[in-house]
């Protein structure tokens, strides 16, 4: 017997904050959760599995329209035609209280009830699946404690959406301990909610397959489901099925000792080449590049954010075409230690101005503070000093970037004179 265990699919999960990056493959990212699920269905059909288990958060919340449900129904129809039933449990993101839209699904799709545990028995396979869906988003009761006793003579699978004790970074839903699950008497626990892949040690496999597709930089690396093979009532193997269509990575680049812009670009290029060599797959990658170390170019790196991003994009395009995409260049470098003086003060000021240029909260407070002056200034004055019109319209980013660049030029001249 073989089955697929998946969870946290988050179909049509909305993208946040990516629209501001013109070079990001937004359309690819927007369709990634569907593309990954389509690949999962194709794997299930090709492997001729006996059934599929989805352990919560199939959806990311109520649908924007019915297209999400229609897409899912179509994929379930493909599995039905292949003779593969599906067992779905709803978690915090697709709880009964969250979902208001529903569509009729094929009769081979079975949903665990929310009011109390449900048991589905597959008589021919001698399998019993036990599970309970969430009735509302924030379930804080230990649902596993109410699951039924194992069905004798059957391979018992517990399906549960839970944070499991010890995962503090995830919302503490349906809490329980590993010991409680082991003691339940089941032969396999199909968990969901935690987005990282994990198989816990013990005589009974307790498994988080992780989410199907990474959606942002906090979900890095390979993503997918698991293929479970059972022989004579015992789990023989648990294999990862990597069905994600793109991946997120953080690349750390050490700029320690760099004293020229060309050196910075060279080290970034070397880091990208090493990353590409280490990736055996041909999936596109979205990168966050973190620059670290002590360098005399710290102030320049902060103050010249736009040219730096463009330089990195050019290197990525030359090395990998559309296989690499840039999410962000994060400057975490530091200036070399030196005695206090005018040059050091100017360097600090350049960094502060550059950071302020990208801070919308600071823009708002600056505008509010200057508004009384604008109210008293004659309209004609704006025509004579365009900078006033720019500030009046809230265009601080360009002005502050210019100020940072000016400080950097003064700093450079001061360094040469010294």
What CATH number did the domain enclosing 172 receive?
A: 3.60.21.10
This prediction has a pTM of: 0.78
Shared domain check, 8 and 70 = yes
Closest to 300 (Cα-Cα) out of 415, 398, 397, 409: 409
pLDDT, residue 168, reads: 47
Shared domain check, 208 and 86 = yes
Q: What is the CA radius of gyration of the chain?
A: 27
Shared domain check, 98 and 179 = yes
Shared domain check, 279 and 397 = no
Shared domain check, 259 and 395 = no
Shared domain check, 321 and 221 = no
SS3 sequence of the chain: CEEEEECCCCECCCCCCCCCCCCCCHHHHHCHHHHHHHHHHHHHHHHCCCEEEEECCCECCCCCCCHHHHHHHHHHHHHHHCCCCEEEECCCCCCCCCCCCCCCCCCCEEECCCCCCEEEEECCCCEEEEECCCCCCCCCCCHHHHCCCCCCCCEEEEEEECCCCCCCCCCCCCCCCHHHHHCCCCCEEEEECCCCCEEECCCCCEEECCCCCCCCCCCCCCCEEEEEEEECCEEEEEEEEECCCCEEEEEEEECCCCCCHHHHHHHHHHHHHHHHHHCCCCCCEEEEEEEECECCCHHHHHHCHHHHHHHHHHHHHHHHCCCEEEEEEEECCECCCCCCCHHHHHHHHHHHHHHHHCCHHHHHHHHHHHHHHHHHCCHHHHHHCHHHHHHHCCCHHHHHHHHHHHHHHHHHHHHHHC
Shared domain check, 177 and 282 = no
Q: How many domains does the chain have?
A: 3
Shared domain check, 158 and 104 = yes
Those residues of the chain that have pLDDT short of 70 are: 15-23, 97, 166-171, 280, 338-363, 370-418
Per-residue pLDDT tens over the stretch 12-55: 887 665 555 666 777 788 889 999 999 999 999 999 999 999 99
d(CA 184, CA 172): 21
Shared domain check, 164 and 16 = yes
Domain of residue 416: give its range: 340-418
Shared domain check, 297 and 184 = no
pLDDT, residue 241, reads: 97
pLDDT, residue 365, reads: 72
Shared domain check, 382 and 402 = yes
pLDDT, residue 382, reads: 54
Q: In what order do the strands lie in the sheet with 285-292?
A: 247-254, 285-292, 324-331
Domain end marker among 318, 337, 356:
337
pLDDT, residue 265, reads: 95
Helix axes 67-81, 32-47, angle to 10 degrees: 10
Shared domain check, 219 and 87 = yes
Domain end marker among 242, 266, 301:
242
Domain end marker among 223, 242, 261:
242
């Amino acid at each position: 017997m073989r089955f697929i265990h998946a969870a946290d699919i988050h179909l049509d999960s909305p993208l946040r904050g990516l629209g501001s990056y013109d070079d990001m493959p937004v359309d690819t990212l927007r369709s990634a959760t569907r593309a990954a699920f389509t690949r999962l269905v194709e794997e299930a059909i090709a492997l001729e599995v006996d059934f599929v288990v989805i352990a919560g958060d199939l959806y990311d919340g109520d649908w924007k329209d019915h297209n999400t449900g229609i897409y899912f129904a179509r994929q379930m129809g493909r599995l039905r035609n292949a003779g593969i039933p599906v067992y779905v449990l709803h978690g915090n993101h697709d709880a009964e209280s969250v979902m208001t839209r529903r569509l009729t699904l094929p009769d081979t799709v079975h949903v665990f009830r929310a009011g109390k545990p449900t048991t589905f028995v597959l008589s021919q396979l001698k399998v019993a699946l036990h599970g309970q869906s969430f009735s509302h988003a924030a379930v804080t009761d230990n649902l596993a404690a109410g699951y039924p006793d194992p069905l004798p003579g059957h391979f018992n699978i517990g399906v549960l959406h839970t944070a499991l004790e010890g995962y503090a970074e995830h919302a503490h839903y349906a809490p329980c301990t590993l010991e409680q699950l082991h003691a339940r008497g089941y032969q396999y626990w199909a968990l969901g909610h935690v987005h990282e892949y994990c198989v816990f040690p013990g005589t009974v496999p307790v498994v988080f397959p992780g989410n199907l597709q990474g959606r942002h930089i906090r979900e890095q690396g390979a993503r997918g489901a698991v293929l479970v093979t059972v022989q004579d009532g015992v789990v023989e193997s648990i294999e990862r099925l990597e069905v994600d269509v793109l991946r997120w990575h953080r690349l750390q680049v050490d700029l320690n000792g760099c004293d020229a812009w060309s050196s910075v670009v060279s080290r970034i290029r070397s880091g990208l080449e090493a990353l590409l060599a280490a990736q055996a797959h041909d999936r596109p990658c979205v990168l966050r590049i973190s620059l670290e170390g002590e360098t005399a170019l710290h102030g320049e790196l902060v103050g010249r954010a736009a040219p730096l991003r463009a330089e990195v994009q050019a290197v990525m395009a030359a090395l990998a075409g559309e296989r690499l995409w840039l999410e962000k260049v994060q400057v975490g470098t530091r200036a070399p230690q030196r005695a206090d003086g005018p040059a050091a003060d100017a360097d600090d000021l350049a960094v502060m101005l550059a950071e302020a240029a990208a801070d919308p909260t600071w823009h708002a407070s600056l505008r509010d503070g200057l508004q009384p002056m604008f109210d008293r200034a004659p309209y004609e004055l704006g025509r004579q000093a365009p900078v006033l019109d720019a500030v009046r319209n809230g265009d601080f980013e360009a002005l502050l970037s210019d100020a940072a660049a000016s400080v950097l030029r003064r700093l450079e001249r001061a360094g040469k004179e010294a």
